[in-house]
């Protein structure tokens, strides 16, 4: 695996305008140093503004963005990353991901991955990786540039969608995993099993769900607009779940996928 990806990051999905500026600034004040955005979120410029206002030295930050499906062709990818860098006010991102495989495989994975690797070598990104890649797409990406160049696969993982086949394949090939939607859009807060575990640990259900992902070695990128929640999420790293806790949460698997956009999502494993 490549250089370390901070285990606890700040997601910005669906946050816009002053809301995302305030969230990122609060997160950076609290100690977050990993910020995750994407071209399609429409908030790269606001994230860049928040980073600039924060005064946190660039060397301390880990910034991820994701290349949208319209920009996956070999002659488009690098230019789109340069546009992202302009919006973020950065010379380089720490991690550039392919957000989704090309819908209906219109652009071959190999073409996209070669373009992404070229962008890395041109200095646009320190690391590169993938997101929402199935086993088949991971196989194609590995075949194109090698597993050692793939810093992470960012996929939906939470107690109700544990994505075990993808996780197993990635681990077999030394590919790190980043869990998005780790709180299942709030569903973990109302689950009685997670609530009982939280009670035993003097923690919140959200903290337990994050601790479950962190113990498995995943990076997590929860988002929040509330400073108290941002602070509580950071504290999840201090919760030590028992093997019994982990087993109880593992039993919650229900194939409860949330992110499944029509016309974009691949055929899932």
Tell me which residues are annotated as active site.
41
Q: Are residues 102 and 130 in contact, defined by beta-carbon separation less than 8 angstroms? A: no
Q: What is the largest CA-CA distance in the chain?
A: 54
Pairwise CA distance, residues 182 & 180, whole Å = 5
99 is in an annotated binding site: yes
Strand partners, 97: 66, 129
Binding-site residue ranges? 99
Binding-site residue ranges for substrate? 99
């Amino acid at each position: 695996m490549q250089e370390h990806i901070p285990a606890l990051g700040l997601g910005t999905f669906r946050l816009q305008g002053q809301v995302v500026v305030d969230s990122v600034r609060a997160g950076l004040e609290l100690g977050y140093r990993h910020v995750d955005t994407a071209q399609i979120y429409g908030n790269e410029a606001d994230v860049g503004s928040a980073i600039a206002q924060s005064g946190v030295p660039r060397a301390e930050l880990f910034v991820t963005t994701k290349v949208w499906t319209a920009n996956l062709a070999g002659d488009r990818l690098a230019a789109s990353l340069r546009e992202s860098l302009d919006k973020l006010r950065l010379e380089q991102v720490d991690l550039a991901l392919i957000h989704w495989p090309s819908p209906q495989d219109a652009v071959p994975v190999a073409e996209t991955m070669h373009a992404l690797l070229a962008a890395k070598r041109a200095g646009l990104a320190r690391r590169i990786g993938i997101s929402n890649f199935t086993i088949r797409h991971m196989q194609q990406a590995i075949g194109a540039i090698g597993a050692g160049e793939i810093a992470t696969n960012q996929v939906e993982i939470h107690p109700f969608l544990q994505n075990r086949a993808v996780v197993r394949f990635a681990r077999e090939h030394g590919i790190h995993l980043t869990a998005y939607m780790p709180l299942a859009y709030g569903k973990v807060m109302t689950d009685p099993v997670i609530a009982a575990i939280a009670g035993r640990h003097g923690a919140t259900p959200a903290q337990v769900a994050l601790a479950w992902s962190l113990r498995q070695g995943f990076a997590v990128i929860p988002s929040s607009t509330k400073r108290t929640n941002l602070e509580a999420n950071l504290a999840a790293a201090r919760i030590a779940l028992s093997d019994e806790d982990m087993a109880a949460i593992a039993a919650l698997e229900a194939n409860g996928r949330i992110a499944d956009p029509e016309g974009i999502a691949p055929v899932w494993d």
